[in-house]
Structure 1
Amino acid sequence: MSTQTLPVYRLYIHPKDIIELRRDIWNDAPVTGKLTVGKKKMDIDLVFRGSHIREFEKKSYHIAFYNPPIYRQAKEIHLNAEYKDPSIIRNKLSLDFFSDIGCLSPSSRYVFLNVNGKDEGVYLELESVDEHFLKNRNLPEGPIYYAVNGDANFSLMSDIDQKVKAALDYGYERKFGKPADDLFLEELIISINTIPRASFEKEIGKLLNVEQYLIWLAGVVLTQNYDGFVHNYALYRNSETKLFEILPWDYDATWGRDLHGRWMEHDYVPVEGFNSLTARLLDVPAFRKRYKGLLQEFLQKQFTVEYLAPKIETLVSSIRPYLLKDPYKKERTEVFDREPEFIYSFIRERSRFIHDQMSQLD
């Protein structure tokens, strides 16, 4: 199989700015830099990105373009180090899987990063879920919210301290839209928690794209992203349908490993998933039946070794040559080489587990 040539990103950051970034890794005030891709030179702002991943030796970056303001139909990108994932492919494999099953999902590609003349290795470039994400897909404009912590659990109670939330929009960060749009998010959350059981099926369909949510739920359960129910997602309100849709985000802790790269049992996440919205939807017999049907469809088509192996092999072959130049990964190529079989084993075991648990959805 021929290998793919990765784009090389050459980043220049003034040495004093690197010192400033590393002095306080939690500071979100950006520094300026220059990014060169081929013959294209751009002025940028950048900052370290992520929560726990900021502490890792191999840093991840959030890059915003300002001269020119747009590059490859985006105003900003995320460069993820995928430091704890021994395969480096789980995030991309997951996001592509969501797209394959019919869920809105950010695009991604691998690049090779060089900072001030020093190779930093293989990175996953992630598309930002913002107004350009919508424009690139010919979708109507609408507010977008990122779930930034465990309070984004669709509940009136905090998932962090188990107390009543001081505000309905706790756990969310508005990425695109106006402050007035927050009322739609607040309406969604309070409705999820207050609509009577007898009218929930009818009323929730006026606020949420239920079919799309059930597709997303199946994707989270199959890939087993434990954090994906209260974190690692974005919400978009389609201004034409007036309905919220949900998107995956940051899916490296999947396919049998947790966020630290450790082995996670294939039966760790139950077939019914988590969070208040999921519980209420699956309490409706028609929604529960539809969710079961989606799981059966995906288990037969997309969530199989036969379907995913060619994709996994393509990803692995595209980045394998570049690992030898990655200072953080080059000594761990033997582990990398074993990861595809690890993922295949997870798919088989997870598939059997879901099949066995399917009767709980009757």
Structure 2
Amino acid sequence: MIKSRVVYLCMATLLLLFVVMVAIIPNIGIQTTNAAFSYEELVFNQSKVTTVDIEISEEDWQSMLENAVAEEYKEATVTVNGKRMEHVAIRTKGNLTLNSVVNSDSDRYSFKIDFDYYDNEQSLYGLTKLNLNNNYSDTTLMREYISYEIMEEMGLPTPAHSYMYITVNGQDQGLYLGVEQVDETFLANNFGSNDGFLYKPDGVGSDLKYISDDLSDYTGIDLKTNEANAESSKWVEMVKALSEGGDLEQYLDVDEILRYFAVNTALVNLDSYQSNLKHNYYLYEENGVFSIIPWDYNMSFGGFSMGMGGGNMPQPTEDADMSKDGANMQRGNRMGMDMMGQSTDLLAEEAVNFSIYTPVSGISLEERPLLNTLLSNDEYLAIYEGYLEEVATTYLTEQYVQNITNNLAALLTTYVEADPTKFSTTEQFLEAVKGEKSLPEFAKQRSASILKQLSGELVIEASTTSSNEGFPERFQNGEMNGQPPANWNGDEMELPANREEGQQGAFGQPPANWNGDQMQPPNREGGQRMPNGANEFTNNTAMLVISAVTLILLIAATIFVFKFNRRGSKKKRLLEF
């Protein structure tokens, strides 16, 4: 016979378990599911700066720096936010920026980390490759980040991205922008499959002109996936339809590509398909239909000078600190940055009033058949105009961009100050946050120009000045392939003393999607990558299931106790009788 105290003990245990499930476990951040792509939340957490600690033999490190152009992988151990990964490959990366740093006295290269290079089953929470971009030619340090944010808002498949502070063998390397690699993992996460053909155009054929029916003649079209089945690709049919006419929607995700060109044009991103360099984009073919994937935005916001005139590194003001920041800026000047196309003036008239109807530089629109064919179609042109209006009135606005720069200033300023290798000064970074020479001011003027062009009030002719005049010939067609800051606690940067969690940053109100702890990611629909909140949603769902099961057990136990007591009372009455 079960004693009453045993029954009550079981009841109390179930009740305690229920309380623990509902009240305690959700608050300790246990990851319960969705491990396949949990890197979006665990590696690219935009509410803080991720720490990346690289351990590599001094011999390999020096060899990599001294032979940077070779882009040769070296073995290393990499710790990301405390997660230690051994037998990882790392190399320098880049094209124009890589060669610029090579020809300087700086060792601030961009890096690519390959987690599955030596072990194809190894990943960092599902992430197999991580790019660490050095923010070369961007004194604001924010152009690429903001561009990707707007691309995401417009529903484009966009690499995950966040800021990361790097150390190498215990020495500060500096503040970088971490960007997810566009690869099989990215495709599976964004498209639900990676069985298609991923292309990275850069060179002969990257203008998407029809050359021949032989795919091998398109030597600048680098096929990254499914190489064994290349003959099944519809690449040739697609470019032939662009050049000779055909059903574009048979080969292109037209709506998605129009969104891409609307954003790229609004951002005046000319280190892209829309200039002589005709690169910095991916195409993904799935079931014979091509989508476009954005890539490399450190020269957006008009940062790629169309006229190529003048030097590109702003000179310091008279009261600028010429100690550490000044030395870094002088190093930037010695790097020959004025040859690499960075615009001197963020608010240059040619950038602010860049044409939305002939959105190319250094070439004619006809030389870019993908863009020209779409804009020559009245129906597609109207859709493109609608997306431009959406960008200009919703995202590329003074308020939207100001919210982002305010938040980034509060998050990053201490890191920028501590960065021993940065190309420009902390003053230049802060200048871009707010004021008459800032990114929000550019957004204000650029969006006004877009709206005037859409209404017909302003008519702009395309510039045919070569965008790459002055570049070394081998670059012209894309054929070339310290002490930590005071608030460093060993894992991550503490919040600045003047900004507690939930309070506004030092430069104004936090963004509208700031919840006191972190920046909420935009919602995405239509097969785009799940937002960071998807992990939270999945975890909450699991917790609800567990709690529901526990509650059912608790109810069942209550019923059992009730019946047990009734049976016991009845038996007791019979015995007394």
Q: TM-score, normalised by structure 1?
A: 0.88
The farther-off stretch of 147-156 and 281-290 is: 147-156
- 1:314 Cα deviation after fit: 1.5
- 1:339 Cα deviation after fit: 0.7
Q: 2:207 aligns with which of 138, 149, 153?
A: 153
* Structure 2 match to 1:263: 345
* Structure 1 match to 2:236: 186
* Structure 2 match to 1:343: 439
For 1:150 and 1:357, locate their aligned partners in 2 and report how far apart those are by CA, in whole Å.
33
For 1:190 and 1:166, locate their aligned partners in 2 and report how far apart those are by CA, in whole Å.
12
Q: Give the structure with the larger strand fraction.
A: 1
Residue 174, structure 1, aligned to residue 223, structure 2: yes
For 1:330 and 1:60, locate their aligned partners in 2 and report how far apart those are by CA, in whole Å.
13
For 1:205 and 1:331, locate their aligned partners in 2 and report how far apart those are by CA, in whole Å.
45
1:1-362 matches, within 5 Å, as 4-42=47-85, 43-54=87-98, 55-56=100-101, 57=106, 58-66=108-116, 69-137=122-190, 139-141=192-194, 142-149=196-203, 151-156=205-210, 167-181=216-230, 183-195=233-245, 200=246, 203-229=247-273, 230-239=278-287, 242-258=288-304, 260=342, 262-263=344-345, 265-268=348-351, 269-272=354-357, 273-274=359-360, 275-329=368-422, 332-341=425-434, 342-358=438-454, 359=456
Write the deviation string for residues 133-188 of structure 1: whole angstroms up to 9, x where unpaired: 1222352322111233474111247xxxxxxx995533222222224336322222
For 1:126 and 1:153, locate their aligned partners in 2 and report how far apart those are by CA, in whole Å.
25
The 3-state SS of whatever aligns with 2:284 is strand
Write the deviation string for residues 233-286 of structure 1: whole angstroms up to 9, x where unpaired: 1111123xx311001101010123225363353534421324221111111111
For 1:79 and 1:128, locate their aligned partners in 2 and report how far apart those are by CA, in whole Å.
10
The farther-off stretch of 245-254 and 324-333 is: 324-333
- 1:313 Cα deviation after fit: 1.6
User: Which amino acid letter does the alignment assign opposite residue 238 of structure 1?
Assistant: E
User: Which amino acid letter does the alignment assign opposite residue 266 of structure 2?
Assistant: L
Q: Which runs of 5+ in 1 are unaligned?
A: 158-164
Write the deviation string for residues 194-247 of structure 1: whole angstroms up to 9, x where unpaired: 22xxxx4xx1110001110100000100111012222111111123xx311001
For 2:355 and 2:423, locate their aligned partners in 1 and report how far apart those are by CA, in whole Å.
36
* Mapped contact 1:120–1:326 kept (Cα < 8 A): yes
The 3-state SS of whatever aligns with 2:54 is strand
* Mapped contact 1:256–1:346 kept (Cα < 8 A): no
Q: TM-score, normalised by structure 2?
A: 0.56
For 1:236 and 1:207, locate their aligned partners in 2 and report how far apart those are by CA, in whole Å.
11
* Mapped contact 2:280–2:295 kept (Cα < 8 A): yes
For 1:324 and 1:92, locate their aligned partners in 2 and report how far apart those are by CA, in whole Å.
19
The 3-state SS of whatever aligns with 1:327 is coil
For 1:181 and 1:319, locate their aligned partners in 2 and report how far apart those are by CA, in whole Å.
44
For 1:289 and 1:247, locate their aligned partners in 2 and report how far apart those are by CA, in whole Å.
22
* Mapped contact 1:168–1:186 kept (Cα < 8 A): no
Identity of aligned residues (%): 23
Greater CA radius of gyration, 1 or 2? 2
For 1:124 and 1:192, locate their aligned partners in 2 and report how far apart those are by CA, in whole Å.
35
- 1:347 Cα deviation after fit: 1.0
- 1:72 Cα deviation after fit: 2.6
For 2:191 and 2:226, locate their aligned partners in 1 and report how far apart those are by CA, in whole Å.
17
The 3-state SS of whatever aligns with 2:395 is coil
The farther-off stretch of 24-33 and 276-285 is: 24-33
User: Which amino acid letter does the alignment assign opposite residue 252 of structure 1?
Assistant: N
Write the deviation string for residues 299-357 of structure 1: whole angstroms up to 9, x where unpaired: 12122112222122212222111112201239711111101232122112212222232
The 3-state SS of whatever aligns with 1:176 is coil
Q: Which runs of 5+ in 2 are unaligned?
A: 1-45, 305-340, 361-367, 461-577
For 2:80 and 2:155, locate their aligned partners in 1 and report how far apart those are by CA, in whole Å.
32
For 1:313 and 1:277, locate their aligned partners in 2 and report how far apart those are by CA, in whole Å.
37
The 3-state SS of whatever aligns with 2:292 is strand
